[in-house]
Structure 1
Amino acid sequence: MSETATAAESATRTPSGRVALAAADARIPLGPLDGRYQRAVAPLVDYLSEAALNRDRVAVEVEWLIHLTSHRVLPGTVELDADQQAQLRAIVTGFDAGSVAELAEIEKVTVHDVKAVEYYLGRRLPSIGIENLTSLVHFGCTSEDVNNLAYAMGIKGAVQNVWLPAARALVAKITEMAQTNRGVPMLSRTHGQPATPTTLGKELAVTAHRLGRQLKRVENTEYLGKINGATGTYAAHYVSVPSADWEQVSRSFIEGLGLTWNPLTTQIESHDWQAELYSDMARFNRILHNLCTDVWSYISIGYFAQVPVPGATGSSTMPHKVNPIRFENAEANLEMSSALLDTLAATLVTSRWQRDLTDSSSQRNIGVAFGHSLLAINNVLGGLDRLDTAEDVLAADLDQNWEVLGEAIQMVMRAEAIAGVPGMENPYERLKDLTRGQRVNAARMQDFVSGLGLSADAEARLLALTPGGYTGIADLLVNHLRD
């Protein structure tokens, strides 16, 4: 840096002399979800961002105020008219960038995010003509009464309106591929070695079925909530208004938000439902990760051909390459998401005595965990859309591995022995000697079958059998995806 650099320029430089990027532009993102991948995860911002959390906090406070007045829970209160209720709810629907900035300014003074929300709402009551109800804002609430409900609403919205639709679209795509390829024979590889053939469609159906089961678990998530005071005892509620049935007030309010009432809590809602949800999502991630590694491997041996994207670069130095980057990217993001979901599931079920703040910091990463999963789902969808099944490669691979019929032959020999056909002793050992550690072509296999002394029907069945025809009812098993 020159001696003529101004003080302002100096202030924006690091000790190494480089420009401090954060000082130059505070909007520069730290993480990839807010930078490189922002477009892919943008739908989650409306549910799991800090701004969305604050909007939902305002929504909880507004609905609590309306609930208390509508049911005249406190003596002396009257029900708000329809216009007043609409104006209160407009505070939520009109929550925007200016609202975010105003809340931030209030929080600089309160040094407390939920208290800032209370003051933010209180400022708006005079314009509605209900400034006399300022004391009713946040009535009987501890911060966690508002927070747990706001988080539950945001998470429910993110799951039902963003994550589940994307996950369902992915499962539908895999199901479609399973149906299309249900009759395409494929050599199996157990332990990485040639094994009893299957069909490509049946193997894809296995994954679709596994993922579908996890979706059902996520779809059945119970989103719990509580509003019962500082230690879950309604102590402040009953000492201030002993005539009210506070449990019923609490339950009807929470159920009115579309959540499930949790009757027994400490200061915090116990977050067990969150842990259950995150475990199910992490399991979905890991099954999808398994698909990514399998598809990547099938691409590497030529079972799938990748359709090139016009203008795209596969390798910076090798122009012939079309790399399976979408599946590799998905693997990494699934691992990141699952690690975060595992941590959240493990952390959120524990709170010291009646309250500690570990959950406060942990829950701020929910959006990150969802974002990496959503990004991975989108990448897998894009990758699958660019695949063509190379049926000729699949067929050639099967034709090179006639030894996999060894299982079929020895099982027929066992059945023949039971039926009393002589000379069927030691079928496993005889096929092991023929096939283990060596390739067997069609002619050699058929010569072996012809010399076994099988019944005419059994011999005819085996002589007509090929690796590509030895797939059992694999194509019919795909029908289970309709169940």
Structure 2
Amino acid sequence: MRQKLLNISPLDGRYASKLSFFKDFFSESALFKKRIFVEIEYLKQLSSFGVIRKLSQKEIVVLDQIVSNFDLNDALRIKEIEEKINHDIKAVEYFLREKFNRKKLEDLTAFIHLGLTSEDINNLAYGLIFKDLKKNVLEKELEKVLVSLKELADRYKKMPFLARSHGQPAVPTTFGKEIANFVHRLQKQQKRLNVFKFEGKLNGAVGNYNALSLIFRQIDWIKFSRVFIGQLGLVPNFNTTQILPYDNWVEFFQKLILINNIFLGLSRDIWTYIMLEELRLIAGKNQVGSSTMPQKVNPIDFENAEGNLEVANSYFQLYERKLPISRLQRDLSDSTVRRTFGVALGHTVLAWNSLQQGLGKIALDEEKIKENLNHHWEVLAEAIQVYLRSTGEVRGYEKIKKITQGKKMTRENYLSLIKELRLDKTEIDFINLSPEKYVGLADKLIGL
């Protein structure tokens, strides 16, 4: 607790308990570990392609254990080396030399990071982190929210609800249908997120295998890269400079921007329904809504979600603008920016979790919903004008507009209008029509 109070970032302070698992993805220690994994796998691939001597099964186990046993002390040692030489990837290489020497693998030290540039390691390490986070966190958290939304949509699919356009009473819908609209949008993005693949590159200082193809002419380095990157679960990109073009990662961020914007709209809509008292919040036993107004129950989960979604998207939009552009074959201005990836993704996960919590605390105030519907019989004006025009009355819309525009109607006003227009004896049962019944095919549209 004391340390949390001294941290600068809210992700490491106020929200640390909610994102403790994020250290396994985006802490510097986690990045070191993933870089070491890539270096070890590369060395094993050099052996399998005959670039270096064959590794025994025992040696492979020893190499794998360097990764699996990696801990905070190892990370601290890498930082000590980095502080002396001012280069993080070279510090990883020197750390591995130390490990190899202690494990009687001295003859392999010369081949660590052989022919590679730092970005060969970095892009693959980040790609693996993104892949793991997407599969183990983002896909699961998104599915949780979708399950909650689908349950709400199904439970209230027949619950009449006053829709509003431009903030004004429009025509009725059902609450379930309005939630289902968000479900439908999110499911489309979920499919695209789930099948998204991250790219990787392994082709040297400017992307041409210059040193490797000169020194080891017998090796098909394009095949080497294709096999190696594919085995990591990434898609090889052979057309690069020193860096992997960020286009692929930006596409990933763009998918998250869209999902976050859908959630932003949902959060604001739920907040508004609460303000209109059509939804009510179930207060926690010890929850305090206000430091001075004891009666309050605030929609803090939805407000928290909204704030975190906007913070996350501000970072993602920065990545959109900044990362696809690099001077010539490489500049280092991207390095500082990409160290914030965990911040953007952390705020995203926080927002999704807040939204999920909030959805579990809302309930419809059915009496208030019915009251709102019955205070606005003018919403049936649409049905009347469409019927008049269907009979050939060219100015049917204008006639009803003159009577209803900007006015509230009661049931009595409505019935009087129906009789005045002689619509009480048509094939359409206008007499028994009401705002609660005028919901169209809302419940049938859910799930289509």
TM-score interval (norm. to shorter): over 0.9
Corresponding position: 1:39 with 2:39: no
- If the length of structure 1 is used for normalisation, what is the TM-score? 0.90
Change (3 A) 1:139 1:83: same
* CA distance in 2 between partners of 1:457 and 1:171 (Å): 44
Q: SS at the partner of 2:164?
A: strand
Corresponding position: 1:237 with 2:215: no
**Residues 322-341 of structure 1: pairs in structure 2 closer than 5 A:** 322-341=297-316
Contact 1:163–1:370, Cα closer than 8 Å, also in 2: no
* CA distance in 2 between partners of 1:425 and 1:81 (Å): 89
* CA distance in 2 between partners of 1:27 and 1:316 (Å): 22
Contact 1:449–1:462, Cα closer than 8 Å, also in 2: yes
Structure 1 equivalent of residue 227 of structure 2: 252
The residue type equivalent to 1:360 in the other structure is S
Contact 1:401–1:441, Cα closer than 8 Å, also in 2: yes
Query: What's the offset of the Cα at 1:348?
Result: 1.2
Query: What is the aligned counterpart of 2:294 among 319, 325, 328?
Result: 319
* CA distance in 1 between partners of 2:260 and 2:219 (Å): 46
Contact 1:340–1:369, Cα closer than 8 Å, also in 2: yes
Structure 2 equivalent of residue 20 of structure 1: none
Contact 2:120–2:202, Cα closer than 8 Å, also in 1: yes
Unpaired runs of 5+ in structure 2? none
Q: Say what the alpha-carbon RMSD is for the aligned residues.
A: 1.5
**Residues 241-320 of structure 1: pairs in structure 2 closer than 5 A:** 241-320=216-295
Q: Percent identity?
A: 38
Query: What's the offset of the Cα at 1:388?
Result: 0.8
Corresponding position: 1:462 with 2:430: yes
Structure 1 equivalent of residue 133 of structure 2: 158
* CA distance in 1 between partners of 2:446 and 2:421 (Å): 35
Contact 2:201–2:225, Cα closer than 8 Å, also in 1: yes
Contact 2:184–2:447, Cα closer than 8 Å, also in 1: no
Query: What's the offset of the Cα at 1:329?
Result: 1.1
Unpaired runs of 5+ in structure 1? 1-23, 418-423
Q: Deviations over 1:102-126 (max 9, x none)?
A: 1111111221000010111111113
Query: What is the aligned counterpart of 1:130 among 93, 97, 105?
Result: 105
Query: What's the offset of the Cα at 1:128?
Result: 3.5
Contact 1:43–1:162, Cα closer than 8 Å, also in 2: no
**Residues 423-442 of structure 1: pairs in structure 2 closer than 5 A:** 424=393, 426-442=395-411
Query: What's the offset of the Cα at 1:425?
Result: 5.1
- If the length of structure 2 is used for normalisation, what is the TM-score? 0.97
Contact 1:221–1:273, Cα closer than 8 Å, also in 2: no
The residue type equivalent to 2:11 in the other structure is L
Q: SS at the partner of 2:391?
A: helix
Query: What's the offset of the Cα at 1:238?
Result: 1.3
Structure 2 equivalent of residue 4 of structure 1: none
* CA distance in 2 between partners of 1:400 and 1:280 (Å): 41
The residue type equivalent to 1:250 in the other structure is S
Corresponding position: 1:476 with 2:433: no
* CA distance in 2 between partners of 1:302 and 1:462 (Å): 30
**Residues 43-442 of structure 1: pairs in structure 2 closer than 5 A:** 43-72=21-50, 74=51, 77-417=52-392, 424=393, 426-442=395-411
Contact 1:413–1:454, Cα closer than 8 Å, also in 2: no
Structure 2 equivalent of residue 8 of structure 1: none
Q: SS at the partner of 1:86?
A: helix
Query: What's the offset of the Cα at 1:42?
Result: 2.1
* CA distance in 1 between partners of 2:290 and 2:60 (Å): 60
Q: Deviations over 1:11-59 (max 9, x none)?
A: xxxxxxxxxxxxx979931110000001222222211221111100000
Using the TM superposition, name which of 165-174 and 333-342 deviates more: 165-174
Contact 2:424–2:430, Cα closer than 8 Å, also in 1: no
* CA distance in 1 between partners of 2:118 and 2:304 (Å): 39
Query: What's the offset of the Cα at 1:479?
Result: 2.3
Q: Deviations over 1:71-99 (max 9, x none)?
A: 21x2xx32212221111111111111111
* CA distance in 2 between partners of 1:134 and 1:220 (Å): 38
* CA distance in 1 between partners of 2:394 and 2:19 (Å): 63
Query: What's the offset of the Cα at 1:217?
Result: 2.1
The count of aligned residue pairs is 447
* CA distance in 2 between partners of 1:128 and 1:395 (Å): 75
Contact 2:267–2:306, Cα closer than 8 Å, also in 1: yes
Contact 1:334–1:372, Cα closer than 8 Å, also in 2: yes
